[in-house]
Homo-oligomer: A and B are copies of this chain.
Amino acid sequence: MTDVTTPLPVDATTRIRRESERQVTERAALHAVLDEALVAHVGVVRDGLPLVLPFACARDGDTLLLHGSTGSGLMRLAAGEPVCVTVTHLDGLVYARTTFDSSMRYRSAVVHGTAEVVPPEEKERALTVLSDHLFCDRTAEVRASTVKELAATMVLRVSLERASVKVAAGPPEVDPDDVEPRSVWAGILPLSTVAGEPQPSPDVRDGVDVPPSVRRAADRLNAGGAPAPAR
């Protein structure tokens, strides 16, 4: 396991070329971005062409787990192959005083690695990590997965050894040639993902309350924090 105090590597693959001052090399920053993510965009090369699809994800120590079905084309395609897994949180629209300087606040993580199939004997634990991240410890509220269900599920994992993190969090840039900037409004419109009211299925029996896992997921999102505990 990689020590969390070991900085992320900056090499030909992971070096951020554009706005390099925004590159963050603390592994804890990588973990924070990933722990707030429910979905990652996974890129693979298929027949020489790029393919990018969204997958549910959860960090498990120094690997990232990706969840899919054995029927998923990309899961099978990615197994054993190089992947690039990217997570982006859009935190705000940056209104500068010019179109040129207008931008976005965001945090992104880009992981480069090989997608390994989680072997059968580790699959149940990996699915628990995924479910507990995505659904805030839901596994304690439902029955265990069956052998058949486990067999129909595929989990991939990617090492977090080689990754880059970029954080754009500053104020709007100011055009140095602008002689009268202060009369035009500039600022940030903050964006965030929030949860609404839980919607029970029509077949839920009267008196069955919204469970703690759903409340936790809503509370964590609406508090502006990560949707699941850091691991």
Contacts and interface: CB of A to CB of B under 8 A. Distances in A.
A80 interface: no
Contacts of A63: none
Contacts of A200: 185-187
Q: How many of these chains are in the complex?
A: 2
Interface string A101-122: 0101010101010000000000
Nearest to A96: B142
A84 B213 contact: no
Contacts of A172: 201
A69 interface: yes
A118 B92 CA distance: 26
Contacts of A49: 13, 45, 82, 84, 112
Interface in A57-102: 68-69, 71-73, 82-86, 88, 90, 93, 95, 97-100, 102
Contacts of A69: 18
A194 interface: yes
A104 B69 CA distance: 13
Interface of A: 13, 17-18, 38-39, 41-45, 48-54, 56, 68-69, 71-73, 82-86, 88, 90, 93, 95, 97-100, 102, 104, 106, 108, 110, 112, 127-128, 131, 134-135, 138-139, 141-143, 145-146, 149, 152-153, 171-172, 174, 181-201, 203-205, 208-211, 213-214, 217-218, 221
Given A49-B84, A97-B143, A190-B197, 15 more contacts: A13-B49, A38-B90, A38-B93, A41-B86, A45-B50, A50-B82, A52-B110, A53-B86, A54-B106, A100-B146, A102-B134, A185-B211, A186-B200, A190-B199, A191-B221
